[in-house]
Amino acid sequence: MDTQQLKLLAALEKKVLWLSTWMIHNANHIRPNEDGLKVGGHQSSSASLATIMTVLYFAVLRPQDRVAVKPHASPVFHAIQYLFGNQSREKLENFRGYKGAQSYPSRTKDADDVDFSTGSVGLGVAQTLFASIVQDYLHAKGLGAQLPVGKMVALIGDAEMDEGNIFEALLEGWKHGLRNTWWIVDYNRQSLDAVVREGLWERFESLFRNFGWDVVLVKYGHLLEAAFSEAGGATLKQWLDHCPNQLYSALTYQGGAAWRKRLLDDIGDQGAVSKLIESRSDEELARLMTNLGGHDLPTLVEAFANARTHDRPVCFIAYTVKGFGLPLAGHKDNHAGLMTKAQIDELRAAHGVRAGREWEPYEGLSQVSDISDFVRNAPFNAKGRRRYTSVHIDVPAVLNVPLQPQMSTQQGFGLLMHEISKREDEFARRIVTTSPDVTVSTNLGAWVNRRGLFARNEMADLFRKERIPSTFNWDFSPKGQHIELGIAEMNLFILLSALGLSHSVFGERLLPVGTLYDPFIERGLDALNYACYQDARFIVAATPSGVTLAPEGGAHQSIATPLIGMAQDGLATFEPAFVDELATIMRFSFDYVQRSGDAEPDETTWLRDAVGGSVYCRLSTRSIEQPSREIGPELSRHIVNGGYWMREPGPNSEVVVIYTGAVAPEAIEAVGLMGEDRRDVGLLAVTSADRLNAGWTAALLARERGVIHARSHVERLLDQVPTNCTLITVVDGHPVTLAWMGSVAGHRVRPLGVEHFGQTGTIAHLYRHYGIDAQGIARAAEAISGGRPIRHVRVDCFPPA
């Protein structure tokens, strides 16, 4: 980059710093503290990355590159996008306000060109690593060849490196031969509450090198490097190298006079070095001593240009000053601090910005024509917004699965995936599976045997090569369609997020399916929420679930996951009891994850099915008797919409049993027990409490807004239930999962389920303990419905205390 281009970059850096600072100051939505001063705008955190981001976006990045921006640097990102013409002044003026530019970059909420949402620290960083693996996966399959291979870039705060999921991801990247990934650590040596520990950069360097990364230390800028070559410069460098973080921050805040006093006090009168210091004014000395690599344009341009020439992963440790260029720079309390009006006026004058023209893109700059041309020709923005689309992958009308008289839904899932693995069509080729070291125990083994494990380089199964008998063939190759992970659920969900965005990020649709144990959803919940927030599309089969996994005890039994499934936005949750239901749901799911239509609810179900989303299937290892039936179009719709009558209630019904999932045999048996003593008992199978509830609440809202004909699927199902009828709901999970159904039409309801940690035992023992066995269901019906005793309820069946 020549001198003229560096001058234009310097002007843009100045403009980016001003716009991002003004954006925060101008926001009316930053909360006031107890003194009435606005705090929380992250002005200092944002400013520390202004130089790095200016260099990246205006000089280094290419359209194929993707960036996860440090959350607190969102004002800088929005300012850059504004200069590119991808963000509006209206949204910048409404920063942090309703439908304004978001506090943290968001793929789904922001108007500008966000590659990866950030906010929950550490997750966006790991996303770039897994996005790079996905890029390699696509290119190994001959997909996405129309796009050059890009760099997956994360801008990271040094304190953000405390997040454990980053280290989990590093290990997985090493296993998969990570390439084309840049992590740029904003090493400003300050966290939200404190100054970071001494020598942290050495730990970072050692860690990244151990995982096979190149490490580039961007510590000093060209002014300091020049000073180090002067007489006495070696002594100055030695002092700087050993200067404690807190002292450096304090002196930066205090300015040139403080720097001069401390340097002369510590170094003493040493002739050459004293002359080096005294030859500079206070202003010049302050500029020299804060000329760190992360704020030096030539140094950054050179560092990034050198790393562009190879595909190895690179960690840049870029020394910066938090709040650089602002009066808050270096102060340990600057994280939530905001500049005063007087300070803003002083900064406005320094930047040559006239009052009333603060939002003008090139206000205060000379050579406006050259700068606007430079921005227009920036390689990264040469092709405008980089949101791609992909063709819809046709899903078979029916997903076949060989039914057996007795099966579990987990077994059915494995057989269904095995049947798909036999296909030689685009649908089967676009499926990619992944699992955190539980591939076999979640019944994906048969799929993997046929489709293989993915690796960029072929690795033969040594057991097979040595002719050792094994049920599974573990050949790794570029042809493989299963990405095996270590046992870290955070990695699973971030990889699913990366796979589930491939259509938008890389222009090629994948159909990701991930498996894990149901209770360990909670271990990866932050990453699951992050994936859904980005609108990534994938299917999760979580199995085994509930206390039905009886012998494993409370550590492997799940209670809250049905409620997680209901509460998680962007995720449709199902809990089928039977394998034919699962096959219907999976067929729907492969189509549902590809949808991107109108967000308005469908006026039949009042679900937002046209917009699509991800899917979570809660499955079980319990083998139960399978019904012999044909799934016709109407029953298929009911299964997908959330529920159907297995036994319709009569006009004089006194009790209706409503169940979901593996407790189906107990619900069916309980209806038989009650039949002689309660009239017209109904049995309602719920395949998705989530979708029944979502449709109901959407229909309620529609009626409140004047759409009087709005009726949801669950309302239509319960229309035929007399108002004096009692509902008994039962689930192997928290009873609240189905308890709300009493509110749909004003029925009395007795919710049964599991509220406390389970223990080891047989299914029968645990179901009896929690009152979700047939006797417990019948006993609950007897207690709440009134009338004569149910003769088949045994008094010796009360659950033990």
- What is the three-state SS of 510-560? CEEEEEECHHHHHHHHHHHHHHHHCCCCCEEEECCCCCCCHHHCHHHCCCC
- Other CB atoms closer than 10 Å to residue 130's CB: what's the count? 28
Neighbouring residues of 233: CB distance < 8 A, sequence distance ≥ 6:
227, 273, 276
Q: Which residues in the chain come in under a pLDDT of 70?
A: 28-46, 190-198, 332-337, 462-467, 469-472, 796-801
- Other CB atoms closer than 10 Å to residue 475's CB: what's the count? 17
3-state secondary structure of 496: helix
As given in the structure block, the two tokens for residue 537 are: 């599309």
Helices (H) and strands (E) in the chain, counts: 34, 20
First to last CA, the chain: 77
Partnered with residue 428 across adjacent β-strands are none
Phi then psi for 396, rounded to 5 degrees? -55, 150
Report the candidate in 585, 522, 524 with the shortest Cα–Cα distance to residue 555. Answer: 522
Contact 586, 617 (CB under 8 A): yes
As given in the structure block, the two tokens for residue 758 are: 């389970």
Residues 442-499 have pLDDT tens digits of: 999 999 999 999 999 888 776 666 667 666 677 899 999 999 999 999 999 999 999 9
Report the candidate in 435, 416, 444 with the shortest Cα–Cα distance to residue 587. Answer: 416
Query: What CA–CA distance (Å, rounded) separates 356 from 551?
Result: 71
Report the candidate in 493, 496, 690 with the shortest Cα–Cα distance to residue 574. Answer: 690
Report the candidate in 606, 609, 589, 502 with the shortest Cα–Cα distance to residue 541. Answer: 589
pLDDT of the residue at 131: 98
Residues 84-143 have pLDDT tens digits of: 999 999 999 999 888 999 989 999 999 899 999 998 889 999 999 999 999 999 999 999
pLDDT of the residue at 270: 79
pLDDT of the residue at 268: 78
By the 10 Å C-beta count (0-12 exposed, 13-18 middle, 19+ buried), 398 is classed as exposed
Q: In what order do the strands lie in the sheet containing 66-68?
A: 66-68, 152-157, 181-187, 314-319, 214-218
